[in-house]
Amino acid sequence: MAANKKLLILPGDGIGPEVMGEVRRIIGWFEKARGLSFDIAEDLVGGAAIDAYGTPLADKTLDLAMGADAVLLGAVGGPKWEPLPFEIRPERGLLKLRKEMQLYANLRPAIVFDELADASTLKREVVAGLDILIIRELTGDLYFGTPRGVETLPDGTRRGINTMVYTSPEVRRVAKIAFDLARKRGSKVCSVDKANVVETTEMWREEVIKLHGEGYEDIQLSHMYVDNAAMQLVRNPKQFDVIVTGNIFGDILSDEAAMLTGSLGMLPSASLGDPDETGRRRALYEPVHGSAPDIAGQGIANPLATVLSFAMMLRYSFDLDEAANQVEQSVRNVLARGLRTGDIMQPGMTLVSTQAMGEAIVEELAKLG
Q: Give the residue numbers marked as catalytic.
A: 143, 194, 227, 251, 255
Q: Is 147 left (phi over 0), alpha (psi -120 to 50) or beta?
A: beta
User: Which amino acid appears at position 329 of this protein?
Assistant: Q
Strand ranges inside the chain, DSSP E: 3-12, 36-42, 70-75, 105-111, 131-137, 149-152, 158-161, 188-193, 220-225, 242-245, 268-275, 281-287, 339-340, 350-351
Q: Is the dihedral of CA 51, 57, 58, 63 positive or negative?
A: positive
Provide the 3-class DSSP secondary structure of residue 153: coil
- Would you state the torsion angle of the CA atoms of residues 28, 34, 38, 43, taken in this order, to the nearest 10 degrees? -20
**Per-position DSSP letters for 181-235, written without gaps between them:** HHHTTTSEEEEEE-TTT-HHHHHHHHHHHHHHTTT-TTSEEEEEEHHHHHHHHHH
Nearest to 250 by CA among 129, 109, 138, 131: 138
The DSSP letter of residue 122 is: S
CB 103 within 8 A of CB 283: yes
d(Cα 107, Cα 244) in Å, to the nearest integer? 9
For the chain, give me the number of helices (H) and strands (E)? 12, 14
CB 272 within 8 A of CB 138: no
Nearest to 200 by CA among 225, 167, 228: 167
Nearest to 345 by CA among 119, 110, 125, 123: 119
Q: Strand pairing partners for 149?
A: 161
